[in-house]
Amino acid sequence: MTSHPFAARIAARLSFAVGTAALLAACGTRQPAPPEPPPPEATARNSVAMPAVTYGATAKGIQLKKEDDACDVPASLKQAVQDQLLEPYEYLLAPPPTANAEGAPVLKVEITDLLANAGGLYGGPKIVQLRGTLERKGEAPARFTAERQMFIYFGMPRSTCSMVGVVTYALGEDIAKWLQKPVDGALLGELSTTAGKR
């Protein structure tokens, strides 16, 4: 009977020693992480230059102005395009591009209509229309027209500018996808679905 507690103590010490040895072996075999590759540089092949988004005229000839835009659509649209760029594009550059990126395609975008009445969800629909041109060396310009809108939002009430932000983020995705294969005369966003119904 006296050998039982002794055997239990030996088993406990052995399991502790084996566990400690395994832990030390695991820690001792960990090698330093390999160095991360340097970030790629902006070049003409992986970059798009995008001047400031401008305010254009509506279909009725009304010139839009900064005063018509309480939500700073140009800034949120540019950020949305930058966030969603797809390969081969990695960089959205403000002109003039760096020496390495000279000759990169230039994307010019203007807002051709904007409806963003105050009141968030209760202020009516939020609509942004755009016209854009991609200029590339040695190729004809490619143009697109785009529109996105938001009428109803389910969930927590949203402010006008957060709803406009959802619209511009969707437009940024449309533009990023179009840049993959820029077809001249393309209709993006909700315009592409209405064109298919005609």
**In the chain, how many domains are there?**
2
Based on the domain organization, do 146 and 177 belong to the same domain?
Answer: yes
Based on the domain organization, do 91 and 186 belong to the same domain?
Answer: yes
Based on the domain organization, do 83 and 119 belong to the same domain?
Answer: yes
Sign of the alpha-carbon dihedral angle for 93, 95, 100, 106: positive
Q: Would residue 38 count as lying in a domain?
A: no
Based on the domain organization, do 179 and 115 belong to the same domain?
Answer: yes
Q: 148-168, pLDDT tens digit by residue?
A: 998 766 666 578 888 899 999
Based on the domain organization, do 13 and 96 belong to the same domain?
Answer: no
Q: Would residue 36 count as lying in a domain?
A: no
Q: Would residue 42 count as lying in a domain?
A: no
Q: 55-86, pLDDT tens digit by residue?
A: 999 999 999 999 989 999 999 999 999 999 99
Based on the domain organization, do 64 and 142 belong to the same domain?
Answer: yes
Token pair of 113 as six digits: 């209509």
Based on the domain organization, do 7 and 96 belong to the same domain?
Answer: no
**18: helix, strand or coil:** helix
Based on the domain organization, do 130 and 80 belong to the same domain?
Answer: yes
Domain limits for position 142: 47-197
Q: 94-140, pLDDT tens digit by residue?
A: 888 788 888 999 999 999 999 887 665 556 788 999 999 999 999 99
Q: Give residue 40's region: left, alpha or beta (phi > 0; psi -120 to 50).
A: beta
pTM of the model: 0.75
CATH number at residue 67: 3.30.160
Per-residue pLDDT, averaged over 6-32, amounts to 66
Based on the domain organization, do 91 and 181 belong to the same domain?
Answer: yes
What are the CA-CA distances from residue 110 to residues 33, 51, 135, 169 (Å)? 46, 10, 14, 16
